[in-house]
Amino acid sequence: MKRRAFLHTGFAAGVLGAGAGTVGTVALPTFLGASPRRLAGGSVRLNSNENPLGISPSARHAILEGLDLANRYPGDSRTPVVEAVAQKHGVGTENLVMGAGSTEVLQMAVQMMGPDVQLVIADPTFEDVWRYATPWSLKVEKVPLLADYSHDLGRMRDIVRRWNGPSLVYVCNPNNPTATLTSSAAVDEWIESAPDNVFFLVDEAYYEYAESQPNYWSALKYVKTNPNVMVARTFSKIYAMAGLRLGYGVGHASMIEKIGFLASRNNANHLACVAAVASLEDDGLIERSVHSNAHAKKIVEDALDELGIERLPSYANFMMHRIKGDLADYRNRMAEQGWLVGRPFPPMLSYNRVSFSTPDDMERFAETLRDFRSRGWV
Ligand SMILES: Cc1ncc(COP(=O)(O)O)c(C=O)c1O
């Protein structure tokens, strides 16, 4: 589809059709009715693994009501969200540390471990832990993923064994950017046999997209017994709150007490807290997001298969697929068609990471892929 036509049927139609509305008794200004997934120029973001459905209507309502207390520090609004999260996971409030997104929790973990530690991560994996480790000059060991794109736990383990000191092991499961799984049984086996000086930071940012898989489960079961395990979760993905910034770490009370000193004071902001409580109470939210994502994923899978383009299995809200030629050219061509696709993820530079938007968007994205094929670009 030509860009002009795309704008006409896509962005413009979305905004013009939205208009002003109400949530409960609160009147929404027109701009709040804008599509949650398009940028001002009409581009669709397929580059940050965001949830295209937008925040829960009840979270929106809670935010509007919560504005009345935006002049206050968020201590009082923090307690209900901590209690609600504790209840959700069957842990105590002493097992939780909140963050401005789960990325702050990853940062705290690096800082808690200090400089004399070895960091062992997959390659490629989510970059933030490595980023936070960089100013500390930690020894960083990047271990290539296996052929099935799972973590090479055997090699990671060998590296840990050879190091004469504490290790921070980051397991991103499902892994970003590959959206692939590492067997939870294998992760369990390592956790259960590891000495105390191996700290496992298990990032489950995309947990809900994968929880139906038989070989996948959470590492949360260890947090009450093992002070060397922390699970990071977020409200950014399945709860669609990436712009509000709320995530948390779940761990043993003794470890959480220590790591809590590394959190910036009042990091969980008031509006994020009230939105999170409302989101947790929205019974259909997870199912809506999972269902829409599964539909969008199937559309992309079918299009890639039809065109014979190699793809990785996806257990999250994004997928990697092979490209032809240079990634920068591919991204620029996609951007010209209104699609912002993933950044480079070395060493996988012959792949693109595409985040799933709504099924409608992904139907149009599939059309773009077919168009690219007719031009010999994919
Ligand atoms: C695996 C993983 N962990 C953590 C994050 C950080 O998310 P946030 O700080 O929004 O919770 C992301 C964001 O994309 C991610 O992909």
Average pLDDT over residues 75-90: 97
What pLDDT is recorded for position 40?
A: 63
Helices (H), 213-358: 253-260, 270-281, 285-306, 327-336
C-alpha closest to that of 175 among 155, 203, 200, 148? 203
pLDDT at 17 over 60: no
What pLDDT is recorded for position 26?
A: 38
pLDDT at 268 over 60: yes
Residue 316 in contact with ligand 1 by CB distance below 6 A: no
What pLDDT is recorded for position 42?
A: 81
The domain 63-281 having CATH identifier 3.40.640.10: the answer here is yes
C-alpha closest to that of 276 among 115, 94, 58? 58
pLDDT at 18 over 80: no
Interval 180-215: pLDDT, tens: 999 999 999 999 999 999 999 999 999 999 999 999
Nearest ligand 1 atom to alpha carbon 102: 11
Interval 212-243: pLDDT, tens: 999 999 999 999 999 999 999 999 999 999 99
Residue 279 in contact with ligand 1 by CB distance below 6 A: no
Residue 126 in contact with ligand 1 by CB distance below 6 A: yes
Query: Ligand 1: which residue has its CA nearest to atom 8?
Result: 101
C-alpha closest to that of 219 among 203, 236, 206? 203
198-203 and 167-172 as β-strands: parallel, antiparallel, unpaired? parallel
pTM higher than the cut 0.75: yes
H or E element at residue 230: strand 229-234
What pLDDT is recorded for position 37?
A: 64
Task: Give the residue extent of every domain in the chain.
Answer: 3-55+285-374, 63-281
Distances (CA, A) of 286 to 239, 279, 280, 281, 283: 7, 9, 9, 11, 7
What is the whole-number distance in angstroms between the Cα of residue 26 and the centre of ligand 1? 32
What pLDDT is recorded for position 348?
A: 97
Interval 54-76: pLDDT, tens: 999 999 999 999 999 999 999 99
Asked whether the beta carbons of 170 and 201 are under 8 A apart, the reply is yes
Residues 6+ apart with CB under 8 A from 214: none
pLDDT at 4 over 70: no
Cα separation, 55 vs 44, in Å, equals 17
Q: Which of 48, 98, 102, 314 to mutate to test the pocket of ligand 1 (most atoms within 8 A of CB)?
A: 102
Residue 15 vs residue 130, higher pLDDT: 130
Distances (CA, A) of 148 to 178, 179, 206, 314, 356: 10, 11, 19, 12, 22
C-alpha closest to that of 233 among 202, 255, 270? 202
Query: Ligand 1: which residue has its CA nearest to atom 3?
Result: 205
What is the whole-number distance in angstroms between the Cα of residue 190 and the centre of ligand 1? 24
Please tell me the CATH code under which domain 3-55+285-374 is placed. Answer: 3.90.1150.10
Interval 87-136: pLDDT, tens: 999 999 999 999 999 999 999 999 999 888 999 999 999 999 999 999 98
What pLDDT is recorded for position 15?
A: 26
Q: What is the largest CA-CA distance in the chain?
A: 63
What is the whole-number distance in angstroms between the Cα of residue 170 and the centre of ligand 1? 13
Residue 357 in contact with ligand 1 by CB distance below 6 A: no
Q: Sort residue 49 into left (φ over 0), alpha (ψ -120 to 50) or beta.
A: left
Asked whether the beta carbons of 66 and 376 are under 8 A apart, the reply is no
Interval 297-355: pLDDT, tens: 999 999 999 999 999 999 999 999 999 999 999 999 999 999 999 999 999 999 999 99
What pLDDT is recorded for position 378?
A: 95
pLDDT-based confidence at 138, cuts 50/70/90?
A: confident
What is the whole-number distance in angstroms between the Cα of residue 230 and the centre of ligand 1? 15
pLDDT at 29 over 60: no
